[in-house]
Amino acid sequence: MSQGPTYEPAAHYDHVTAAWQLLLGDELHYGVFADGDEPLDVATAALTRRMVEAARLPEAAASGTTLRLLDVGCGSGGPARALATGFGVEVVGITTSAVGVQTARQRAADLGVDGVSFEQRDGTANEFPDASFDVAWALESAHLMRDRPALLSECARVVRPGGRVVLCDLLRHREIPFAEVRARRQDFATLREAFGDAHFEPLAYYADGLAALGLVVEVADDLTQPTLPTFDRWRANAATHHDEVVELIGHEGHEAFVRSCDVLEEFWRDGTFGYGLVAARRPG
Ligand SMILES: C[S@@+](CC[C@H](N)C(=O)[O-])C[C@H]1O[C@@H](n2cnc3c(N)ncnc32)[C@H](O)[C@@H]1O
């Protein structure tokens, strides 16, 4: 049932995780659409596949190597399960949301998925040893972390020489003047209500940040256009699951989600916000 507004990411995700499985699906992220007609789960799997290829997981699977991957901001564990079952990867998923950890553990147990574990940890101070993973992976979690430089340095620190950091997230394509922020403050308040506290950076911020840490950037792709149909699918899910979502996050939560789809779609179309993916290799 609704508990009222909670914008800090851990509390926000504790509040919305169950509703978001209805609104966004098993994988709590945008979809990459080839022609715009695919169901949402096909498109979310396609985004995960883009991350998989950027991380070079198929090559490792083909050579029989078991990679160890840190999934920073693991949601309810959908991508982690896909990596373990599809590519034999050993995944450690972390999130600051206690509900997220509990849900991810339960889903993996219910589905009998081995090779995944989930812990409540912060991606900006993960406390894992240096060079203890082959891949550090942040699928749509960076925008929720206030200290994004710490996220990048923590990811770079925990990958071994020759390992990779892969990240995809919402992007800011241009500076937003203060007068515009004021004029659109209701739109920004709607986004905050639906998605919690968030900060969007340009694609170059992540690529340059990883390069400054000594990594070699291999991929920097803008995915704004192919992610655009996501909003239609989210609105459709909000209509289909109206009563269950209202039960979980209240009328105001449901309304904020639907309005935020309209706001984000407009920002996508007018060139303000978008989506992108970066991958970089640690030399050695
Ligand atoms: C949009 S969801 C993406 C979930 C998952 N990667 C997926 O694609 O299904 C964002 C995730 O980031 C997590 N998160 C937010 N801030 C975090 C932080 N500082 N450290 C770790 N996880 C965080 C949230 O709890 C949530 O699980």
Whether residue 1 is contained in a domain is answered as no
**Percent of the chain scoring above 70 in pLDDT:** 98
Is there an atom of ligand 1 within 6 Å of 229 CB? no
Average pLDDT over residues 117-130: 97
Is there an atom of ligand 1 within 6 Å of 140 CB? yes
Average pLDDT over residues 154-163: 97
Q: Is the pLDDT of residue 109 over 50?
A: yes
Instruction: Give 14's pLDDT tier (boundaries 50, 70, 90).
Output: confident
Place of tokens 């999130």: 95
Is there an atom of ligand 1 within 6 Å of 31 CB? no
How much is the pLDDT for 5? 55
Instruction: Give 175's pLDDT tier (boundaries 50, 70, 90).
Output: very high
Whether residue 2 is contained in a domain is answered as no
Is there an atom of ligand 1 within 6 Å of 100 CB? yes
Is there an atom of ligand 1 within 6 Å of 25 CB? no
Give the domain range for residue 32.
9-281
Residue predicted with more confidence, 5 or 200: 200
* Paired residues of 137 in beta bridges: 71, 166
> Which CATH number covers residue 66?
3.40.50.150
Is there an atom of ligand 1 within 6 Å of 15 CB? no
Average pLDDT over residues 266-278: 97
Is there an atom of ligand 1 within 6 Å of 95 CB? yes
Q: How many domains does the chain have?
A: 1
Whether residue 19 is contained in a domain is answered as yes
d(CA 166, CA 188): 28
- Burial class of 81 by CB neighbour count within 10 A (0 to 12, 13 to 18, 19+): buried
Instruction: Give 136's pLDDT tier (boundaries 50, 70, 90).
Output: very high
Whether residue 82 is contained in a domain is answered as yes
Place of tokens 């309304």: 255
198 CA distance to ligand 1 middle (Å): 11
Write the pLDDT tens digit of every residue in 76-95.
999 999 999 999 999 999 99
228 CA distance to ligand 1 middle (Å): 21
Q: If DSSP codes are grouped into helix, strand and coil, which group holds residue 103?
A: helix
Whether residue 4 is contained in a domain is answered as no
d(CA 52, CA 137): 9
Q: Is the pLDDT of residue 11 over 90?
A: no
Q: Is the pLDDT of residue 4 over 80?
A: no
Other C-beta atoms closer than 10 Å to the C-beta of 227 total 23
102 CA distance to ligand 1 middle (Å): 14
Q: Is the pLDDT of residue 105 over 60?
A: yes
Instruction: Give 2's pLDDT tier (boundaries 50, 70, 90).
Output: very low
Whether residue 80 is contained in a domain is answered as yes
| Eight-state DSSP code of residue 130 | T
How much is the pLDDT for 6? 67
76 CA distance to ligand 1 middle (Å): 9
Q: Is the pLDDT of residue 97 over 50?
A: yes
69 CA distance to ligand 1 middle (Å): 15
Is there an atom of ligand 1 within 6 Å of 96 CB? yes
Q: Is the pLDDT of residue 163 over 50?
A: yes
Considering 54-63, 127-136, 189-198, the range whose residues carry the highest mean pLDDT is 127-136
Whether residue 205 is contained in a domain is answered as yes
94 CA distance to ligand 1 middle (Å): 8
Contact 32, 227 (CB under 8 A): yes
Average pLDDT over residues 270-278: 97
How much is the pLDDT for 46? 97
Residue predicted with more confidence, 60 or 27: 27
